[in-house]
A = this chain, B = another copy of it.
């Protein structure tokens, strides 16, 4: 595949014009790796990121005993190490080719210069990522609304028991609580709002007061749905 063809298929570059794709293709270098070959090591300078055109790449960490912990396996059409490279950090893990692999390497410095000369490139990428994030947030909400209300109800009942009162403060931030329950803060807020409006609890800021304990117990056991 030509590099512009590969670039086009990547969500990161979804919003780019033909001209911007051509500009990007110009700073890209093809790099090939044999099966088993190392691509970068943890701690190496994040001098650029890769787009896998053919083959398979594993990203892994090494434990203190030297044991390999695979974090991710990438296939054709996927970029890797881009988040670290954007933020200018060193590579946070190792990457090895698991098969003979063809990659396109995007050097950080040339990419920065391209954005400087052509900020609309960055704007279009920010737009594409923002839209993808919105879509993903919507999916997480749809997926997690089924189970998270029950888990939140259990959590609130547990907190109430631990603190020996129906009126208690949350002991962690809502962002941490969202993560604990397997959802995102936006969805958690929406669930709190519904628990309030349906009369299960009264909450404001970090304080929660349980109003309908039996209702919460029914939610927690799955007998009732929010």
Give residues in A with beta carbon < 8 Å to B: 12, 15, 75, 78, 82-88, 112-113, 115-116, 119-120, 122-134, 136-137, 139-140, 142-144, 182-184, 186, 189
Q: Determine whether the beta carbon of B184 is less than 8 Å from that of A130.
A: no
Chain B hits for A75, CB < 8 A? 189
CA distance A84 to B127 in the complex (A): 7
Chain B hits for A112, CB < 8 A? 119-120, 123
Question: How many Å from the CB of A209 to the closest CB on chain B?
Answer: 21
Q: A129-B129, A129-B130 are in contact. List 16 more A-B contacts (CB 8 A).
A: A15-B87, A84-B127, A87-B124, A116-B116, A122-B123, A122-B125, A122-B126, A126-B129, A129-B133, A133-B133, A133-B136, A136-B136, A136-B140, A136-B184, A142-B182, A143-B144
Which has the most chain B C-beta neighbours within 10 Å: A84, A125, A142? A125
Chain B hits for A126, CB < 8 A? 82, 86, 122, 125-126, 129
CA distance A143 to B115 in the complex (A): 36
| Contact A83 B115, CB 8 Å, known A75-B189, A126-B122 | no
Q: Determine whether the beta carbon of A123 is less than 8 Å from that of B86.
A: yes
Q: Determine whether the beta carbon of A137 is less than 8 Å from that of B134.
A: no
CA distance A15 to B186 in the complex (A): 20
